[in-house]
Amino acid sequence: MSELPIGSHQEVVSRMKAAIKAGKHWYLALLEAMRDYPEEEYLIGGEALDWISLAGMLLAETTEDAITSRESNLFIKRGKIPLKITLQEARQLIGAARYNLYLNYLYGVTVEAALVKAVAAEIEKEFTCRGLSPPEDIKSRAFLTVYEDEKHALCALFSDETGIDADCEAQNRAEFVYWLFKYRLKKQDKEKVASDTKKALDWLNSGSPVFLRLF
């Protein structure tokens, strides 16, 4: 693998297009482009790579004959990885630094968001097993169970600490989720963190219709 320097938007996009035209699978060319693209505007909390937005932008730059919209949507929106590669190969293609930034997003955003859903599913099951209808505030109960505080209170704290407007349901959702991840790491012991991480991953792997991963 050639060592390509990090360059401008157009340089990276041009290299990706040339690689695909030369016969490289678009997924492999994409990983290399993600390795080389200046990541600043795609970082969450300065530590987690928003790979979904970055990959979506790069794929939008390719032509329909190189990759169809159906292929890209299956990957970006449905979590269907188009080519099977090992984690070692993936890390080599995307580079060690970006791989670590990707893992921060995977665990700090994707898995963290899944944890609340997994707990909500547990609460719902508890009610249905007793022949009761699940409560309307099941999401709020799950959030309170995971973080031991109300969402609106933590959203306000997030805004105070980061200076980001406390719109935790819309454009700042990923930033808020990553902040919650770090907040939980500080509050909980390692065993609890590991247990919750496993719970979220189990839910993603078995209970979620979509598990978005880069590889």
Structure tokens at 88: 């070692």
Rounded Cα–Cα distance for residues 171 and 85 (Å): 32
pLDDT value, residue 2: 42
Taking phi first (over 0 means left), then psi (-120 to 50 degrees means alpha), and beta for anything else, what does residue 98 get? alpha
Predicted TM-score (pTM) of this structure: 0.91
Extract the runs of DSSP E, i.e. beta strands, from the chain: 43-44, 48-49
pLDDT value, residue 164: 85
pLDDT value, residue 41: 86
pLDDT value, residue 7: 67
- State phi, psi for 48 to the nearest 5 degrees: -115, 125
Rounded Cα–Cα distance for residues 119 and 139 (Å): 9
pLDDT value, residue 176: 94
Task: Give the chain's residues under pLDDT 70.
Answer: 1-7, 166, 170-172, 207
Four-point Cα dihedral 202, 208, 209, 214, nearest 10: -60
**Is the distance from CB of 98 to CB of 39 less than 8 angstroms?**
yes
